[in-house]
Chain A
Amino acid sequence: MKFDTPAGQNPIDRLTVVGKPTDRIDGKFKTTGTAAYAYERHDVVPNQAYGYALGAGIAKGRVRRIDTEAAKRAPGVLAIVTTLDTPKLGLGKMNVASLFGGDQVQHYHQAIAVVVAETFEQARAASFLVSVDYAPEAGKFDLAAEAKAAKPVEGSSGEGSGGGAEDRHGDFEGAFAEAPVTLDQTYTTPDESHAMMEPHATIAAWDGDRLTLWTSNQMIAWTHESIAKILGIPKENVRIDSPYIGGGFGGKLFVRSDAVLAALGAKAAGRPVKLALTRPLVINNTTHRPATIQNIRIGATRDGHITAIAHVSTSGNLQDGKPETAVDQTKLLYAGANRLTAMRLAHLDLPEGNSMRAPGEAPGLMALELAMDEMAETLGLDPVEFRIRNDTQVDPGKPERPFSHRDFVGCLKRGAEAFGWDKRNPKPGQVRDGQWRVGLGMAAGFRNNLLMKSGARVRLDRTGTVTVETDMTDVGTGSYTIIAQTAAEMMGVPLDRVVVRLGDSAYPVSAGSGGQFGANNATSGVYAACVKLREGVAQRLGINSADAVFEDGQVRSGNRAVPLGEAASAGELSAEDSIEYGDLSKKQQQSTFAGHFVEVGVDVDTAEVRVRRMLAVCAAGRILNPKSARSQVIGGMTMGVGAALMEELAVDAKRGFFANHDLAGYEVPVHADIPHQEVIFLDEVDPQSSPMKAKGVGELGICGVGAAVANAIYNATGVRVRDYPITLDKLLARMPDAA
């Protein structure tokens, strides 16, 4: 189905199932432990052995020799494959560092061997007997030190944001020089880990030259193609199955070493092999959100209209790595005729930087929205009012291009009212509640809506059960449920007559999960397949499909009403289709918007920060399932609090690795850190986006939160910290006296 004109009235608009706050249909499996994650697929293939991955103990250099003799003799060991036994393997989609093979070490904990044994404990114990001789080389590990040598670079996050090395509109320098009120500040964000609960894990089994991977992956089609390329086998010989995923956040968009090592280990051992990365390897072997140094300059008139805005971001990565696209939102969020955005990339030999939840916008807004708060204060304007004054209904760089639907101002006004923003004391450091200094902060949330081709197959059997099959994944987001809701709405059946099967490369290729593009595109693909199935049903029943009403498990046309299942009485009906998009998103800019509001308390003595209240108001098109959408947004808000207050991969700049590589060292918020979170969805639809009239929402929840927390801390204390995370050591020295 080609979607190239705005959606008109369609069966989804009935909203009998779609749009309802629906419990997730896979919830009972997860809460009863019957949703088997990759490492728990004990029943898919017999005789599974255990693999244990070894990471390099240096950050850069060469592996000279690996002695496996003692390990091979250890109890239970079946096989050991080393990187020296293996030619350098090809890269999969979005891979930067080599996953295995050859003698080069590009980063710490890059995989250098896999030990396969009868039990996990035997494999792990034997791995300690492998001795490795390295020829280390000096590397570059310090972003601040290398930033001077950073080069202009274009790049895309692969999940929506991106742009040229330098994008200009108007005359930034001239307008900035002339502006009566200006800001020129630099902000930094640290390296961060996805810290998903489920580590990367795979069970691999060979049947002759055919390989099956039961794994944990967000993008089945990418992985399907990539693993074939990496291992040099035909794609037809590979099957990927990933029905349940314990979180990904961009860390599982692509093939990682767990899949490669399990496959190589299984081949060497002649047995199926299961392998999960340890947490240190999740952190240093896989990918992370790279640190940024961001310079922002804003020029405005005295009444607070932006005339010039520039955002330059520097990040680091391995050779051939991409930049963090932190400047992207600055192209679109605020008005202003003179604009400059630029990205620079420094070569670093740290582990690979890559996508993490809202790559680009998440760190970009941490800087931009902190700068906007500073600018509002300089102008003597309320931060909400300053943003409203600079709203734009068109792409400010291409004014002929309007937004498809933009109610950013609605988010801000609704949020300010619901949060009691008018009670905020604009003068910082004034409000006390016992031992706490109390402050309120806000920030804009912004994330683009992405359109990606997405397919599905829908089958109808004689009982009237509708089965949806698509390689779409559910990373904990609720894909199963919204897909079931879509099929139920389209076919006019209750939710419990729909079966959803996901994550298998045998199914039609979907958009997958990433860049908050999953929900809208995957359900639109299901919509397309259902339109085709409805035609098939009408044809079987001898009804004109234009007249057919699918409702209450029946197909009605005029006076005739037939149970839906009857259409399949002579055999199952099946339909497959994809949604494909025309150029609507080129003619009009499709984005999602939020207003984030936060209240914090900062301890008068110790400067410990505790978030007391949070609110997000989101404008993201039709909300397909307000319950799972809310879960996505509050998850994003939680991650945003982590980014603001504690999350930081601590770089050992001498040895070149992230030293705090476990969940005791890399702290993410615990329940006690997160207060009541309120989410309001503005009631809107965007017919430019898809037949579902929905947009992405899963990443909007994190975009802007960090800055809202930072701005609240400033309001509480009068201490401005521009270096995330805002840990107490950065506040202490400048905290006002407790008295």
Chain B
Amino acid sequence: MRSFTYERPSTPAEAAAAVAAKPNAKFIAGGTNLLDLMKLQIETPAHLVDVNGLNLDTVEPTPEGGLRIGALVRNTDLAADARVRRDYGVLSRALLAGASGQLRNKATTAGNLLQRTRCPYFYDTAQACNKRQPGSGCPALDGVSRQLAVIGGSDACIATHPGDMAVAMRVLDATVETVDAAGAARKIPVAEFHRLPGDTPEADTTLRPGELITAVTLPKPVAGTHIYRKVRDRASYAYALVSVAAILGKDGRGHVAFGGVAPRPWRVEAAEADLPKGAKAVTDRVFAGAKPTEDNAYKLKLAERTLTAALTQARA
């Protein structure tokens, strides 16, 4: 970890201004990912702006009948919120499928969206990695890639977004609210929040420098069975090989997003019309153009079968 300076502003606009004002400054909330990355010098911020005191930690109803989740609402609290459990079960389940109880107590809603990939080459500073060190190369392409993306990647990067919460947010059509250094607010649909790597895999999201997430809003609830099915190599405390976030009716109609397969939660809305035809019809369209490696080609079959499991559950 490199030495850094630290401050605790008192308003979101001040926080955004503080990060914009200094080169190589970052926000810190729960720190569950950033601190690890700093210890390994994968992230080397010179200045940290602690946003924990910004009072962004409440869940409020919106006039549209949805929920506005403060950026600092802890994963544990969000998963346990009675309204979330009642109306957005997929979100509660996704949160509880992630990390461990201790980490969920610290991790925040905004921070969860910003967690970085778990690609092994990103984590080994002796190795090349275009995301960590732009232009250095991507060993994952011909290296160990069992966990990595089958779709949405590029010749520069096949890292996945490792999270669960964002996959549920995607199927819920959530919106990320931000404020920038000038105090201007912006709304980013979660579908547009995470970037595909292209030639610039170093940028995970479409946030601008200094832009601070203040909340995530959910539209009014969607009826149906809320399912989050996370498939992994062990029963707990592991990243998804494939996950399915779905809201499904008994007739199979509904919405579905996939995790663990791409640099961002992966959803193809147009394919959802095929849900009543069964999983394969949907995954054939969702994963059209997939470019798996030899190591991770199984994810295509797994995605189909995991969706089958979700459909079976919804019909039961």
Chain B contacts of A605 at CB under 8 A?
Answer: 305-306, 308-309, 312
Alpha-carbon separation in the docked complex, A659 to B145 (Å): 10
Q: Is A615 an interface residue (CB 8 A)?
A: no
CB-based nearest A residue for B236: A672
Give the B interface residue count (CB, 8 A): 37
Q: Is A645 an interface residue (CB 8 A)?
A: yes
Alpha-carbon separation in the docked complex, A65 to B242 (Å): 44
Alpha-carbon separation in the docked complex, A125 to B38 (Å): 10
Chain B contacts of A645 at CB under 8 A?
Answer: 233-234
Knowing A125-B3, A605-B312, A738-B312 touch, does A667 contact B139 (C-beta < 8 A)? Answer: no
Return the contact of B1 from the options A57, A124, A728 (Cβ within 8 A). A124
Q: Mark contacts of A48-60 with chain B using CB atoms, 8 A cut-off: 1 yes-contact digit, 0 otherwise.
A: 0000000111100
Q: Is A610 an interface residue (CB 8 A)?
A: yes
Q: Is B6 an interface residue (CB 8 A)?
A: no
Q: Which of A654, A669, A729, A732 has the most CB of B within 10 A?
A: A729
Task: Tell me what chain A mostly uses at the interface: helix, strand, loop, or mixed.
Answer: loop
- Whether B139 and A57, one on each chain, are in contact in the complex, defined by CB atoms closer than 8 angstroms, is no
- Whether A606 and B302, one on each chain, are in contact in the complex, defined by CB atoms closer than 8 angstroms, is yes
Q: Is A727 an interface residue (CB 8 A)?
A: yes
- Whether A652 and B235, one on each chain, are in contact in the complex, defined by CB atoms closer than 8 angstroms, is no
Task: Tell me what chain B mostly uses at the interface: helix, strand, loop, or mixed.
Answer: loop
Knowing A606-B309, A655-B143 touch, does A732 contact B237 (C-beta < 8 A)? Answer: no
Alpha-carbon separation in the docked complex, A671 to B237 (Å): 10
- Whether A646 and B233, one on each chain, are in contact in the complex, defined by CB atoms closer than 8 angstroms, is yes
Q: Which of B84-92, B120-128, B164-172 forms contacts with chain A?
A: B120-128
Tell me the minimal C-beta distance from A56 to chain B in angstroms.
8
Chain B contacts of A664 at CB under 8 A?
Answer: 118, 239
Return the contact of A728 from the options B123, B124, B125, B233 (Cβ within 8 A). B233
CB-based nearest A residue for B121: A659
- Whether B143 and A728, one on each chain, are in contact in the complex, defined by CB atoms closer than 8 angstroms, is no
- Whether B236 and A670, one on each chain, are in contact in the complex, defined by CB atoms closer than 8 angstroms, is yes
Alpha-carbon separation in the docked complex, A124 to B41 (Å): 10
- Whether A673 and B235, one on each chain, are in contact in the complex, defined by CB atoms closer than 8 angstroms, is yes
Tell me the minimal C-beta distance from B230 to chain A in angstroms.
10
Q: Which of B274-311 contact A (CB under 8 A)?
A: 298, 301-302, 305-306, 308-309
Q: Is B231 an interface residue (CB 8 A)?
A: yes
Q: Is A603 an interface residue (CB 8 A)?
A: yes
Return the contact of A280 from the options B124, B143, B233, B308 (Cβ within 8 A). B124
Tell me the minimal C-beta distance from B29 to chain A in angstroms.
21
Chain A contacts of B301 at CB under 8 A?
Answer: 732-733
- Whether B241 and A728, one on each chain, are in contact in the complex, defined by CB atoms closer than 8 angstroms, is yes
Chain B contacts of A729 at CB under 8 A?
Answer: 146, 241, 298, 302
Knowing A125-B2, A661-B120 touch, does A727 contact B233 (C-beta < 8 A)? Answer: yes
Q: Is A662 an interface residue (CB 8 A)?
A: yes
Q: Mark contacts of B10-48 with chain A using CB atoms, 8 A cut-off: 1 yes-contact digit, 0 otherwise.
A: 000000000000000000000000000001010000000
Q: Is B56 an interface residue (CB 8 A)?
A: no
Alpha-carbon separation in the docked complex, A735 to B237 (Å): 26
Q: Mark contacts of A628-659 with chain B using CB atoms, 8 A cut-off: 1 yes-contact digit, 0 otherwise.
A: 00000000000000000110001110110001
Alpha-carbon separation in the docked complex, A1 to B127 (Å): 56
Tell me the minimal C-beta distance from A645 to chain B in angstroms.
7
Chain A contacts of B127 at CB under 8 A?
Answer: 57, 655
In the assembled complex, 22 residue pairs joining A and B whose CB atoms fall closer than 8 Å, in A order, are: A56-B126, A280-B124, A435-B309, A606-B306, A610-B235, A646-B233, A651-B144, A652-B139, A652-B144, A659-B120, A660-B120, A661-B120, A664-B118, A667-B233, A667-B238, A669-B234, A670-B237, A728-B241, A728-B298, A729-B298, A729-B302, A732-B301
